[in-house]
Amino acid sequence: MAESYVRHVELLGFEKRFFPSQHYVYMLMVKWSDQSEKLVYRRYPEIHTFHKALKEMFPIEAGDIDRNDRIIPTLPAPKWLDNQKTTETRQVTLAEYFHSLLNLPPKISRCHLVCDFFKMRAEDETPPAPHPYKRNETFIMSTNRARGNTTSEITGPIMLESYRVIADYSQSSKYELSLKMGDMVDIVEKSPNGWWFCQCESRRGWVPASYLEPLDGADESEEPEPNYTGELYKTTKGYKAVEEDELTLEAGEMIEVIHKLLDGWWVVRKGEDTGFYPSMFLCRTGERKEVDAEKDVVIRATPPPRRSTIRNAQSIHSKGRQRITQDTYRRQSRRFLQQRGRLNSQSKNGTRSPLQERKTNRENIANSGSRQAEDQDESVPVIPPRPSPQLILERCTENTCKRVSMLKLPASTMASDAFDTFCKCSYLLNTLTDISKNIVVESKKKKKRGSGNVLLLNFSLCSGKKLTKKQKLLEYI
């Protein structure tokens, strides 16, 4: 069997220790070719001593003979007095150094010197006893976990989060940590598969997140909200449901993740069914899942236990943790699927054949023409209705009112045809009156009584009225 070698080294941060004297150590997560990973602690002077030994073993690659042949990365020498600021700013340099070192040819990156340096020592498994009055301080470096991106971003030192154990937990392997109810642990790393790397006093190991609760409240502030749109994932391993609210799936099935919970049990959707499924058996579509990258190593081949299955769990918070029921997940998910189905049907209707598109265009043109005609009709002024005779009499002049009163026709009962006849007669009467006046004036000038009488008589016959006294006197003028 081939000897295992180092595949990846991740710098997690550094720790400030006070025993036997104050010093700083870097926390390195070493991942080996046998799919195991171990946490080791190294001081910077130790790392620099290893660097000098590597240069002596490979002088050509170190550039001692020809500077242009150097491929081993450089590493600054340690200072006489290291402080917290120097230790913090040196993290980026160390992260780049380890990445460049493991990318060297195998004769260097897999040599026994490199393997021996990163092997776990006795002090790594059992750190020295803490100071009786001072507690060790741990500072975590925030790293960019994007694949292929090795740059790290320092966000400043932060204190580790403290959690409380709600029930007794017995380790099932040497990489896990046995805890008692009420123990306080510091979280070094939160893995999305539900296994957290914790530190309890001087002991370190992996613990299920379901056995831990925050101190400031029962609910996790970092837990995201449900996303019913769903993220497309693929199952890497089959799982048979144990509880009623879990799903049974085979390897290679496509599902949608709608809620990512920190305990490693995610709510997934398969068709219209929803349920819990272990996140360690899922990977995003289009990505190649590496075993060591997702922490699915041999020591944690089984999903973490769910909180609902923990017996004798005791919390310090009077208010329990708020959990969304499976009925709520199912109801909200179906509502979203119905909305998405309607949108899909509308989009399908939008993609029609050319014949249907031409027919639709004709209908649209006809509708647009009718709308334009309506717009034009609206632009033409509307002809008002014909006023009633009563309204005309109210608004006409006094002469017209007198002439209408001479005929003694009640305006309220006058029909439209009678009113037209009345208007014509009134016009004829006015015309004849003017003619008669002209004739009378001419008769005065000529003093011809006979002709005047005949004309007045004809006028009286045409008008249909008897001569008044004034008109009779005209006979003798």
Which pLDDT belongs to residue 464?
47
Interatomic CA distance for residues 51 and 97, integer angstroms: 10
Amino acid occupying residue 364: N
Which residues in 182-261 belong to E strands, given as ranges? Answer: 184-190, 195-200, 203-208, 212-214, 231-235, 254-259
Interatomic CA distance for residues 24 and 16, integer angstroms: 5
Chain-centre distance of CA 333, in angstroms?
16
Looking up tokens 């009163």, which residue turns up? 405
| Cβ within 8 Å of residue 213, ≥6 positions away | 163, 164, 166, 315, 316, 317, 321
Which pLDDT belongs to residue 292?
43
| Cβ within 8 Å of residue 228, ≥6 positions away | 258, 332, 333, 335, 336
Which pLDDT belongs to residue 144?
52
Interatomic CA distance for residues 75 and 96, integer angstroms: 10
In the CATH hierarchy, which top-level class contains the domain 1-159? Answer: alpha beta
Interatomic CA distance for residues 167 and 212, integer angstroms: 8
Enumerate residue ranges in the chain where pLDDT < 70: 1-2, 126-135, 142-159, 218, 221, 286-301, 320-321, 342-382, 404-428, 431-432, 434-477
Looking up tokens 């014909």, which residue turns up? 386
> In the chain, where does the domain assigned CATH 3.30.1520.10 lie?
1-159
Query: CA of 294: how far to CAs of 239, 281, 299, 378, in Å?
Result: 18, 10, 13, 71
Interatomic CA distance for residues 476 and 138, integer angstroms: 143
Query: CA of 457: how far to CAs of 431, 433, 443, 449, 473, in Å?
Result: 17, 13, 14, 12, 13
Interatomic CA distance for residues 302 and 28, integer angstroms: 25
Interatomic CA distance for residues 388 and 455, integer angstroms: 38
Averaged pLDDT of the chain: 76
Interatomic CA distance for residues 201 and 212, integer angstroms: 16
List phi, psi (to 5°) of 11: -85, 115
